[in-house]
Amino acid sequence: MKSSTSPAAFPKPEIGPEMKGADAVVQCLIREQVDVIFAYPGGASQELHQALARTDKIRVILPRHEQGGSFAAEGYARATGKVGVCMATSGPGATNLVSAIADAFMDSVPLVAITGQVFTKYIGKMAFQETDFYGMTLPIVKHSYLITNVHDLPRIFKEAFHLARSGRPGPVIIDIPKDVQQAKFQPVFPATVEFSNPYIAKEHKATDEELKQVLGLIATAKKPVLYVGGGIISADAHRELKAFAERANLPVATTLMGVGAFPETHPLSMQWFGMHGSAYGNWAVDQCDLLICAGARFDDRITGDTKHFAAHAQIVHIDIDASEHHKNKRAHLAITSDVKHALGRLTELAAAVKFTAPDTKAWHAQIAKWKQDHPFDGKAGFGDSPHILPQEAVAMLYELTKGDAIITTGVGQHQMWAAQFYRFNEPRRYISSLGLGAMGFGYPAAMGAKVACPDKQVIDIDGDGSFVMNVQELATCHIEKIAAKAMILNNQHLGMVVQWEDRFYGSIRGNTILGDEKNIGSPDNPAGLYPDFVKVAAGFGVKGRRVIKKSELKEAIQEMLDHDGPYVLDVIVPYTEHVLPMIPAGKTVKDMLLK
């Protein structure tokens, strides 16, 4: 069974002239409409870089670290839905891609990672800069290729891009020995891909009978909830989700991966729930009698103790990946389907069978009361603190951008505050490492997102610990004129770990202070702040500013937004703030901390 995925510009197979394998790689990328690649050269990938230098159809961005380049490729993919592409040499160059590959696997991001490899005759002999990259990445990829025959190269590239973008998206690696890059051959570029595996070839669409069962469950529910995740965004199903939720009058709670899949300012929105999610979203899921999960996977940050998660609800689970069904939480009705089709068809069937939404006035009234009593912005006005609170900085950024920006984050407290205090009404606006939780993700991801969306404001909301892990990409943005901004919520600590220390370890500091403990910097002692991010940015040719006084915050953020190049805004905040609500790991909603 064949599945055509080739771009419209290349509808038929094409026999090319004789060329090197490296030049064929470039032609494959062009045929897949790749317009940018984040690539760091080395001995085993030099032929590929020479081939890229012979074309003007692909922009090559040189990161200052392979991890930065691979996170940038992810940022590009997450902002657009297109396949992100990164490339590195063999050995340490390849291994520096591993975090991004694992991140793309956890968060279902379409990524193709190309790596150079030592000469075929040296494979397995511990040659200089050799690693078994194919073997070491097997648990964290959708598929892997080690090309040993140059004639396989066009087919493998066509398959790799198809696999990366289709079904449940994910990362694919292509490892290419240097002699394969150098070999000359006459390539045959296929227009289609063909897989013998029936699961890959099959189109997964819910049947009308299955979807009518869902409508039947909704019709008799008193406390229904729609629980949706990143699969909605991957499938470009946010419009179908909104139409169905409105037609059935269902309250919607998203995961962090699903932020923006449903407009957060919509009356039916409960924003996102889980460990640090909305109290009202968590309570609604806990007390619902019908939970319809679409494009999500019941991960531990959502469920806590799975035995007590939605314990009184009938559960419907709609997902393109059948392996997710019953993996973490048993569903009463599991449907393997493209979620865009399922949600769209549910709305159509609701009209066809004259579906009547159940009377859930009391349920909606209860949720509205919870929203009123326990909003995210419990410190509205932020007037109690003499210092700039991190939540305040995010809220001010939201106000000044009017919610019309792409936000990337590192990992930690700032990551949660960004999602809590910036409202997202569109998909692909909140870009964060969520399954893997990789520090250092934020700024390179902003770089990639800005390359993808040059006309949008792209701001990395970051922590000082996370930002410094890939600070070198400021150089890339300066040289490449990529106007990615960074707003650092600088508390001189590993804030999220400190929060756990405060809550569960008697506030004993186990290597969580980033500054000089003898002269720790703070809003009251700015001279001791370390490092000086403004000077660091200046060293990379990037404009920066530090802000300490609350009275200067608004003007400083506006200056960052108005600047026409990359920018670092270092916002000094206290380390004593905690992200709330909080459901401790492995606990239940009943253990939720509200203060």
How many angstroms separate the Cα of 413 from the Cα of each of 290, 404, 470? 32, 22, 18
Whether 416 is catalytic: no
Nearest to 414 by CA among 473, 495, 472: 495
Whether 2 is catalytic: no
Handedness of CA 310, 311, 315, 319 (dihedral sign): positive
Distance separating the N- and C-terminal Cα atoms of the chain: 57
- Residue 263 backbone class (left: φ over 0; alpha: ψ -120 to 50; beta: rest): beta
Under DSSP, the state recorded for 389 is: P
Q: Cα 468 to the chain's mean position, in Å?
A: 20
Q: Is the peptide bond before 177 cis (omega within 30 degrees of 0)?
A: no
What pairs with residue 230 in β-bridges? none
Query: d(Cα 330, Cα 353) in Å, to the nearest integer?
Result: 29
DSSP string, 269-289: EEEE-STTS-HHHHHHHHH-S
Spatial contact of 228 and 268, defined as CB atoms under 8 Å apart: no
Spatial contact of 478 and 430, defined as CB atoms under 8 Å apart: no
Handedness of CA 386, 388, 394, 396 (dihedral sign): positive
- Residue 167 backbone class (left: φ over 0; alpha: ψ -120 to 50; beta: rest): left
Considering the candidates 128, 184, 194, 504, report the single residue annotated as catalytic.
128
DSSP string, 138-184: GGG-SEEEE--SGGGHHHHHHHHHHHHHSSS--EEEEEEEHHHHH-E
Within 163-313, strands assigned E span 171-177, 184-185, 188-189, 193-194, 224-228, 252-254, 269-272, 290-294
Whether 441 is catalytic: no
Query: d(Cα 13, Cα 526) in Å, to the nearest integer?
Result: 64
Whether 128 is catalytic: yes
Considering the candidates 496, 560, 582, 592, report the single residue annotated as catalytic.
496
Three-class secondary structure of residue 409 per DSSP: strand
Query: d(Cα 470, Cα 65) in Å, to the nearest integer?
Result: 8
Query: d(Cα 340, Cα 348) in Å, to the nearest integer?
Result: 12
Considering the candidates 178, 242, 371, 550, report the single residue annotated as catalytic.
178
How many angstroms separate the Cα of 122 from the Cα of each of 116, 117, 253? 13, 10, 53
Considering the candidates 33, 50, 129, 213, report the single residue annotated as catalytic.
129
Query: d(Cα 548, Cα 529) in Å, to the nearest integer?
Result: 11
Torsion of CA 262, 263, 265, 267, to 10 degrees: -50
Whether 119 is catalytic: no
Considering the candidates 20, 38, 47, 66, report the single residue annotated as catalytic.
66
Residues with a catalytic annotation lie at 66, 128-129, 178, 496
